[in-house]
């Protein structure tokens, strides 16, 4: 089984308080080293955050097992201080940001559809 077969792509949405956007951006220019290592140890990779001018935050990462990644971060003592420090930036959020962010369902992935197309093409030409 290839990495593409086991990788889960996760996208989530949060709302940053528009009055704190500059501070939020500043904090993410140099995330605490312990938090970076905790994210890495949880199995998350290719992790990005995108922030719109009105505070809409979209996050994306890849992992082999999102439930295990979530549990690892929840149990990792390195994450609690960062999450507590960052919690006040978000509007309408109950709980820790890494645990409470609503997930967005994936509706399209280019590589998956190309692979299916190539598979169909191969099957009809064998």
User: How much is the pLDDT for 1?
Assistant: 39
pLDDT band at 120 (very low <50, low <70, confident <90, very high): confident
If you average pLDDT over residues 106-115, what whole number do you get? 90
pLDDT at 45: 97
pLDDT for the residue numbered 97 = 61
The SS3 call for residue 62 is strand
Listed residue (8, 46, 5, 51) closest to 26, CA to CA: 51
- The HSE-up count of residue 44 (CA atoms within 13 Å, CB side) is 21
21-50 per-position pLDDT tens digit: 999 999 999 999 999 999 999 999 999 999
pLDDT band at 3 (very low <50, low <70, confident <90, very high): very low
Residues 72 and 98: beta-carbon distance below 8 Å: no
Helix 77-87, helix 33-41: angle, nearest 10: 120
The residue among 120, 76, 118, 116 whose CA lies nearest residue 99 is 76
pLDDT, one tens digit per residue, over 34-90 is 999 999 999 999 999 999 999 999 999 999 999 999 999 999 999 988 988 888 899
- Is pLDDT of 2 > 90? no
pTM for the full model? 0.82
């Amino acid at each position: 089984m290839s990495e593409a077969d086991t990788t889960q792509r996760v996208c989530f949405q949060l709302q940053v308080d528009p009055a704190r956007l500059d501070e939020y951006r500043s904090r993410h220019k140099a995330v605490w080293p312990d938090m970076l290592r905790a994210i890495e140890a949880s199995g998350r990779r290719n992790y990005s955050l995108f922030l719109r001018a009105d505070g809409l935050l979209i996050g994306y990462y890849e992992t082999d097992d999102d439930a295990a990644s979530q549990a690892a971060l929840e149990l990792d003592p390195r994450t609690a201080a960062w999450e507590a420090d960052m919690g006040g930036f978000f509007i309408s959020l109950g709980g820790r940001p890494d645990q409470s962010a609503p997930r967005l369902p994936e509706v399209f992935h280019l590589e998956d559809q190309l692979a299916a197309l190539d598979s169909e093409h191969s099957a009809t030409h064998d």
